[in-house]
Amino acid sequence: MLKYQRTLREEIQFEGIGLHTGYSVKLTLVPAPPETGIRFRRTDLKNFEIEAVRKYVAKVSYATTLMKKGVMIATVEHLLSALYGLGIDNLYLDINSLEVPILDGSGGHFVEEIHKVGIVDQEALRKYIVIEKPIEVRHDNKVAGVYPDSVPSATYIIDFEHEAIGYQEIRIDLDPESYCREVASARTFGFVADVEYLKSLGLIRGGSLENAVVLDSSGIVNNHLRFPNEFVRHKLLDLLGDISLAGFPIVGHLHAERAGHAIHTALADKIAQLRSHYQIRTAVELEPALVQAAV
C-alpha cells in the first residue's frame, strides 16, 4: 500500500475530441503540491477550478459530469480512473473545453504517458478511507457497495442479453500494477441500435470505431477485443473513476452488479454521508494491521 502522496514528475499534454460533444480539446496534467487533491482548471474560463469530488457531480447519463457554479467538466471517469488506479493524489487538470478527450475509449493512453514522465512521492502521508461497516446502494437488481477488507479490492459483475457479452465477472486486488495489467486498456462500448437515440439527446457526437467497442445484433462491429471480458473490465474502470470522487482511496472491497455511473456516484455520495462506517487513516497508521493480516 502506498505510503506517501504522489504527483507527476512533469507536465503531460493530450489532445483529442470529446466523446459526447465532439469538440476538440487540449488537456494538460500539471504536478500539484501535497493536499491539493485532483482539480480541473478550465483554461478557457480564467482557470476556473472544479475539484474532483462527489459534491460537484451534476449528471450521470452515459458519463459522469462535474459542475460548479454553472461550469461543467464532462466525461471525467476514464481520466479519474487512471489517476486512482495509479495512486496519484495531487494534480491540476488544465482543460480548454467542457469535456475530457476520449482518446481510444479507455484509460490506457493516460497510463502510458504518465509512465513515460514518471510519478514522484511527496512529503505528506497518503490518507485512506478504511471501511469498517458495509455501505450499499441498491436500485432494483443493480447494486454497488463497499465492504470491510484488509486490502483494496474490487468485484464487478455484468449480465447483458447480447450474445457477445452475456455474463461476465472480474475480481482483483487493487494496486497500480494490477490496474495497469487488468483494467487500464479496457475500452468503453456501445450498441448500434442506440446510436440514433443518443444522437437525438446530443450525445456521442465524437463517437467512432476508433474510441469504442461497437456492437450490432450479430456481434462486434470493429476489430478484436483486448480481453475476452473487456466489457466488464471497462465497467470496473468506470467504477474506479467514479468512486475516486469519495475523496480518498478506499481500503475495502468494492462490489458492483449491473450498475452504472448513477449508482457508482451514489455510492461515493453515501460513503461521504456515512462517516460512522469508516475511518480515515494514513498508511503509517495502517501498517500494523496490514502486517498482522499478512501473517
- pLDDT given for residue 291 in this prediction: 42
Q: Burial letters for 166-190: b for 16+ Cβ neighbours within 10 Å, e otherwise?
A: eebebebebbbebbbebbbbbbbbb
In this predicted structure, what is the pLDDT of residue 208? 82
pLDDT in tens, the chain (295 residues): 899 999 999 999 999 999 888 899 999 999 999 999 999 999 999 999 999 999 999 988 889 999 999 999 999 999 999 999 999 999 999 999 999 999 999 999 999 999 999 999 999 999 999 999 999 999 999 999 999 999 999 999 999 999 999 999 999 999 999 999 999 999 999 898 887 777 777 777 888 888 899 999 889 998 689 999 999 999 999 999 999 999 999 999 999 999 999 999 999 999 999 999 999 999 899 876 544 444 3
According to DSSP, the residues that pair with 153 across neighbouring strands are: 173, 253
Question: How far is Cα 131 from Cα 147, in angstroms, rounded to an integer?
Answer: 6
The reported pLDDT for the residue numbered 192 is 87
The residues that are catalytic are 261
Say what the pLDDT of residue 268 is. Answer: 97
CATH superfamily of 4-294: lpxc deacetylase, domain 2 (3.30.1700.10)
pTM: 0.94
Annotate 92-114 with b (16+ C-beta within 10 A) or e (fewer).
Answer: bbbbbbbbbbbbbbbbbbbbebb
E strand or H helix at 113:
helix 108-117
Q: What is the CA radius of gyration of the chain?
A: 18
Q: Which of 273, 272, 265, 232 is nearest to 77 (CA)?
A: 265
User: How many angstroms separate the most distant Cα atoms in the chain?
Assistant: 57
> What is the per-residue pLDDT for 294?
42
pLDDT score of 289:
56
